[in-house]
Structure 1
Amino acid sequence: MRNWKRVTSILILCVCMMALWTAPAFAAERVLQYGNRGEDVKALQTALIDRGYLNANATGYFGHLTLAAVKNYQQDSGLVVDGKAGPKTMGALNESDSVAASAGISNQDLYWLARIIEAEAKGEPYEGKVAVGNVVMNRVKSGIFPNTVYGVVFQYTGSVPQFSPVANGTIYNTPQAESVRAAEAAYGGVSVVGDCKYFFNPSKAKGTWIVNNCSFYKMIANHAFYR
């Protein structure tokens, strides 16, 4: 009887050990921060590069450049600025992808959005750059303008383009990092001018039609925005 109990105990122990050996191991997602290395850091860097926040290669090492990029993204996204990529920061990065996908935004849209922001708002504060992007995106979604960023940017009224950079060629200038960031923000749904669809610089143009037919919303640096 004793031998039987002993054999039974050994068998149970073996079964338990086998279960432990064969059970899959799931690594908990870690909070990424300065000094970390790994594929998860590389994925974070790739996301930041795609959004214009990191002007460097995805190396898999969380250094000073990645730290600054994370902080800039957190600030623009209204998150706690601590330089750590935890669940909220990573969730915001993933959410911006989902918003863009659900809105049918393409890489070509972002390409032209960044360029019209650079051309129209170079020298303007970051908020002013996002605002220009908002105007373009509001037109895309309006149903009364073309339904792509390219279509909005290159729309003509008669022989006159809606946006002067199309006429003077600055639409083809390469955007700086801040313009790309602003495009990404507007692209992902960040709004600073509500449903405004028009803007102009009062020091350079009278904007007669806009003033007579639209409601003033706000000034951001040199641009007046109307809805």
Structure 2
Amino acid sequence: MFKKLAIIGALAVPMFGMSHGANAAETTHRVKAGETLYKIGAEYGVTVKQLKEANHKSTDSINANETLTIPNSISESDKELLARLVQAEAKGEPYAGKVAVATVVLNRVDSDSFPNSIHDVIYQGTQFTPVQNGEINKAADADAKKAVNEALAFRGQGKGSLFFFNPDKTSDQWLRQKQVTITIGNHVFAK
């Protein structure tokens, strides 16, 4: 897993580039009163762990007016692809379900049982219906994009879901035998 994260980190570019900092190598954020590392991570699409490492912090404590370095995240194209998948897979589902769908893809990237990139996980065989029916090519809305950033901030802290399905739309017994981690809206998440 460390090898995957090192490769992803080396190849990644910041989520917002110039919109939040001087340049890609020196993106910074001035902490506002009431912000947390999690909220900042969700804004930029980076994990709390990455924020702590980039700023040499051993705790979650931050102070108003403190300047934090924002580490590189996944590429903008990967975020957009993941948001389009979330849009297609979780349209009409609760926001938490959208975050959970994005988290499944990220968990797969981090797992030795799946490909090492967001693109390759999404396009692996017949894993996701929107890839097969073309819905993956439709634009993502703001909620889907926000859900991706939140999933990135939450990365590695969830229940380890690697699958999700709508029991009303599939009779796949293999999926139904997986350990259920959570049910959100019409989706059952499992590992």
TM-score over 0.5 for the pair:
yes
Alignment of 1:130-169 (within 5 A): 130-156=99-125, 161-169=126-134
Alignment of 1:34-49 (within 5 A): 46-47=19-20
Structure with the higher fraction of residues in helix conformation: 1
What's the counterpart of residue 93 of structure 1? Answer: 40
Alignment of 1:113-124 (within 5 A): 113-124=82-93
Q: Which amino acid aligns with 2:109?
A: V
Q: Tell me how large the CA RMSD over aligned residues is.
A: 2.9
Q: Alpha carbons of 1:153 and 1:86: their partners in 2 closer, same or farther (altered >3 Å)?
A: same
Q: Which runs of 5+ in 1 are unaligned?
A: 1-42, 48-84
Q: Deviations over 1:54-74 (max 9, x none)?
A: xxxxxxxxxxxxxxxxxxxxx
Q: Deviations over 1:130-179 (max 9, x none)?
A: 000110000000021111111100001xxxx1100000000011011101
In the alignment, the residues of structure 2 paired with residue 196 and residue 144 of structure 1 have an alpha-carbon distance, to the nearest angstrom, of 13
Q: Which amino acid aligns with 1:150?
A: H
Mark the structure with the bigger radius of gyration: 1
Bigger relative contact order, structure 1 or 2, given CA contacts below 8 A and separation 6+? 2
Aligned residues: 142
Pairing 1:182–2:128 present: no
Q: Deviations over 1:67-120 (max 9, x none)?
A: xxxxxxxxxxxxxxxxxx724527542685463886862222211110110010
In the alignment, the residues of structure 2 paired with residue 177 and residue 89 of structure 1 have an alpha-carbon distance, to the nearest angstrom, of 21
1:93 aligned counterpart, secondary structure: helix
Q: Which runs of 5+ in 2 are unaligned?
A: 1-15, 21-30, 52-69
Q: 1:172 aligns with which of 122, 133, 137?
A: 137
% same residue: 35
Alignment of 1:1-227 (within 5 A): 46-47=19-20, 86-89=32-35, 92-93=39-40, 96-97=45-46, 99=50, 105-156=74-125, 161-189=126-154, 194-212=159-177, 214-227=178-191
1:186 aligned counterpart, secondary structure: helix
Q: Alpha carbons of 1:103 and 1:162: their partners in 2 closer, same or farther (altered >3 Å)?
A: farther
Q: Which amino acid aligns with 1:171?
A: I
